[in-house]
C-alpha cells in the first residue's frame, strides 16, 4: 500500500472536510482536549447514522472552510479540533454529546472546576511515604488492617485553584480521578451561515420556553402602548378606549347613562366646596 506524504494527507483531509461540509447541513466545532479514546468511541457510536466526526488539524480546517458562508464568524478554533457534520438539530446533538462524560486523573497545573475531595474511608495504600504526604496535606489518617484509612472527607483543592503536583500524585495513588471531561462543543455553523455559540447551544428547552414567553409578554405590552391592534391586544385596547371615552365625556359634562353618576358626584363635591367657601 502506497504511503502518503504529510502534504498529501493534508490535501486529502481538506478535500474530505469540504465534501462533508457540502453533504451535511450543519457543522459543530468541538475541543477534544483530554477526552480519552473510550469516551470518543462512545460518542461516535451514539452519533452513528446521525452525524460524522472528523478529527483535523486546526489550520487544515480553517483553509478548507474559509469560503464557507458564515465561517469567518465562528472565531478561533480549538487546538484539539473535532468537526461534527450532521443534518440533525444542532441543539439535540449538543445535548447528546454534552451529557456524555468521564473522569480522568488530575494533572499538575490544571485548574479545578469544582472542589476536589479526598473521601473518608479505607484505601489500598500501604503505610509509607504517601502517609507523610497525606499528613502534610492536613488529611487525618490511621492505619487499619495494615493499610491507610482516611478518617474524614477533606477538600484538597478549591474550585478555581491550580492543582499542585504533590496533590495530583496523591490523587493518582488513591485512584481518585476528579477531573470530569467531555467533548466540548465550542460553536456550530448551519447551512445559512448562522453561528451558534456554546452559551446558546447549552440553553435548555425550558429556558427557551421561558424566554419566548417573556418576549411575547413584552411584545404585547409594547404593542398596546403603540396602539397596535391585533388578536392579542384588541380586548385591552377596546377596554382602554372605552374607559377613555367615558372619562372624556365626564370631563366635558356630556350626560349618558355611564357618566350621569360621575357628573352628579362631581356636582355634589363642587357644591359642597362652594358652600364652604360662601360660608
Residue 149 and residue 171: Cα distance in Å, rounded? 14
Q: Print the domain residue range for 154.
A: 116-179
Question: Could you give the residue ranges of the DSSP H alpha helices within 99-184?
Answer: 129-136, 165-173
Considering the domain boundaries, does residue 153 fall inside one?
yes
- pTM metric for this prediction: 0.71
Q: Are 129 and 68 part of one and the same domain? A: no
| Sequence-ordered strand ranges (E) for 207-268 | none
pLDDT of residue 97: 94
- Helix (H, G, I), strand (E, B), or coil: what is residue 186? strand
Q: How many domains does the chain have?
A: 3
Considering the domain boundaries, does residue 1 fall inside one?
no
Sign, Cα dihedral of 104, 110, 115, 119: positive
Residue 170 and residue 31: Cα distance in Å, rounded? 28
- Helix (H, G, I), strand (E, B), or coil: what is residue 211? helix
Q: Are 164 and 36 part of one and the same domain? A: no
pLDDT of residue 128: 83
Considering the domain boundaries, does residue 107 fall inside one?
no
Residue 192 and residue 207: Cα distance in Å, rounded? 24
Q: Are 269 and 162 part of one and the same domain? A: no
Considering the domain boundaries, does residue 45 fall inside one?
yes
Q: Are 258 and 151 part of one and the same domain? A: no
Q: Are 55 and 77 part of one and the same domain? A: yes
pLDDT (tens digit, 9 = 90+) per residue, 166-211?
Answer: 999 999 999 999 999 999 999 999 999 999 999 889 887 787 788 7
Q: Are 131 and 21 part of one and the same domain? A: no
Q: Tell me the pLDDT of the chain (279 aa) as tens digits.
A: 457 788 888 899 999 999 999 999 999 999 999 999 999 999 999 999 999 999 999 999 999 999 999 999 998 999 999 999 999 999 999 999 999 999 999 999 999 999 999 999 998 888 888 888 888 888 898 998 888 989 999 999 999 999 999 999 999 999 999 999 999 999 999 999 999 999 889 887 787 788 788 888 888 888 888 888 788 888 888 888 888 888 887 788 778 877 778 778 877 887 887 777 776
Q: Are 195 and 214 part of one and the same domain? A: no
Q: Are 254 and 237 part of one and the same domain? A: yes
Q: Are 94 and 227 part of one and the same domain? A: no
Considering the domain boundaries, does residue 194 fall inside one?
yes
pLDDT of residue 2: 58
pLDDT (tens digit, 9 = 90+) per residue, 150-159?
Answer: 999 999 999 9
- Determine whether 61 is exposed, middle or buried from the number of CB atoms within 10 Å of its CB (0-12, 13-18, 19+): buried
**167 within 8 A of 106, measured Cβ to Cβ:** yes
Q: Are 175 and 268 part of one and the same domain? A: no
pLDDT of residue 247: 82
pLDDT of residue 225: 83
Q: Are 63 and 87 part of one and the same domain? A: yes
CATH number at residue 152: 3.90.105.20
Which residues does residue 187 pair with via DSSP β-bridges, in sequence order?
Answer: 29, 197
Q: Are 166 and 198 part of one and the same domain? A: no
| Sequence-ordered strand ranges (E) for 32-120 | 51-56, 81-86, 102-104, 116-118
Amino acid at each position: 500500500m502506497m504511503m502518503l506524504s504529510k502534504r498529501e494527507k493534508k490535501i486529502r483531509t481538506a478535500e474530505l472536510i469540504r465534501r462533508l461540509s457540502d453533504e451535511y447541513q450543519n457543522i459543530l466545532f468541538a475541543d477534544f482536549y483530554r477526552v480519552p479514546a473510550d469516551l470518543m468511541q462512545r460518542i461516535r457510536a451514539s452519533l452513528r447514522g446521525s452525524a460524522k466526526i472528523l478529527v483535523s488539524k486546526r489550520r487544515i480546517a480553517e483553509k478548507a472552510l474559509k469560503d464557507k458562508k458564515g465561517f469567518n464568524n465562528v472565531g478561533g478554533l480549538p487546538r484539539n479540533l473535532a468537526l461534527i457534520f450532521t443534518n440533525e438539530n444542532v441543539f439535540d446533538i449538543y445535548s447528546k454529546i454534552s451529557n456524555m462524560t468521564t473522569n480522568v486523573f488530575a494533572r499538575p497545573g490544571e485548574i479545578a472546576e469544582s472542589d476536589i475531595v479526598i473521601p473518608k474511608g479505607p484505601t489500598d495504600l500501604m503505610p509509607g511515604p504517601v502517609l507523610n504526604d497525606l499528613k502534610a496535606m492536613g488529611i487525618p489518617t490511621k492505619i487499619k488492617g495494615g493499610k491507610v484509612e482516611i478518617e474524614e472527607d477533606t477538600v484538597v483543592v478549591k474550585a478555581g485553584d491550580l492543582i499542585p503536583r504533590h496533590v495530583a500524585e496523591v490523587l493518582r495513588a488513591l485512584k481518585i480521578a476528579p477531573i470530569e471531561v467531555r467533548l466540548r462543543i465550542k460553536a456550530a455553523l448551519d447551512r445559512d451561515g448562522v453561528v451558534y455559540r456554546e452559551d446558546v447551544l447549552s440553553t435548555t428547552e425550558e429556558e427557551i420556553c421561558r424566554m419566548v414567553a417573556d418576549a411575547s409578554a413584552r411584545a404585547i405590552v409594547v404593542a398596546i402602548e403603540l396602539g397596535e391592534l391585533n388578536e392579542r391586544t384588541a380586548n385591552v385596547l377596546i377596554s382602554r378606549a372605552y374607559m377613555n371615552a367615558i372619562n372624556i365625556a365626564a370631563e366635558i359634562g356630556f350626560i349618558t347613562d355611564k357618566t350621569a353618576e360621575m357628573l352628579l358626584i362631581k356636582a355634589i363635591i363642587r357644591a359642597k366646596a362652594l358652600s364652604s367657601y360662601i360660608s
